[in-house]
Amino acid sequence: MLPPPELVIDECLDKRLATELEYRGRLARSVSGLGLRGLDDPTLLQELAKLGHPYVIVTADTAMPLDWLSEIEATAATVAVTDSRRSEEFLESQWYHDVVHRWAHAMRDQPQGTVHRHTARGHRPWRSKKGRGPA
């Protein structure tokens, strides 16, 4: 039986999210904590595929699935995109913290190789605003 997926916090998010999630009992590390800081997305996806255990890359890069779909599919990456459309009542940093903490359990439970978009109200399989993207 495989261990639960590790939530890997992308560099575009605050790396302290990984520590906060660990305090809440979630298996999480930041990209920099894995020693993968500064890699472009295709190289990062390739390196994450070498971890030897399931993972979910948690990112605020809403273009990642559109820009790197072939790399995501080739590495069977599981991607959780935190939607950037935030409520006016939140500062940007607060918004990402809130959404990641709110849906960490759903991110962990995403089927391997899927891309989901997470907002304050819910989560669903990712589709670009133009209707393109994985089903």
User: Is residue 63 a contact partner of residue 115, using CB atoms and an 8 Å limit?
Assistant: no
Instruction: Name the DSSP letter for residue 72.
Output: H
Q: Is the dihedral of CA 129, 131, 134, 135 positive or negative?
A: positive
Per-residue pLDDT of the chain (135 residues; tens, 9 = 90+): 777 899 999 999 999 999 999 999 999 999 999 999 999 999 999 999 999 899 999 999 999 999 999 999 999 999 999 988 877 888 888 889 999 999 999 999 999 999 999 998 899 998 766 554 444
User: What pLDDT does 91 receive?
Assistant: 83
Domain-wise residue ranges, the chain:
6-125
Q: How far is it, in rounded angstroms, from Cα 79 to Cα 60?
A: 10
H/E/C letters for each residue in 84-100? CCCCCCCCHHHHHHHHH
User: What pLDDT does 3 receive?
Assistant: 79
pTM: 0.91
State both tokens at 29. 């590390």
State both tokens at 99. 């959404």
CATH class in words for 6-125: alpha beta
User: What pLDDT does 50 receive?
Assistant: 95
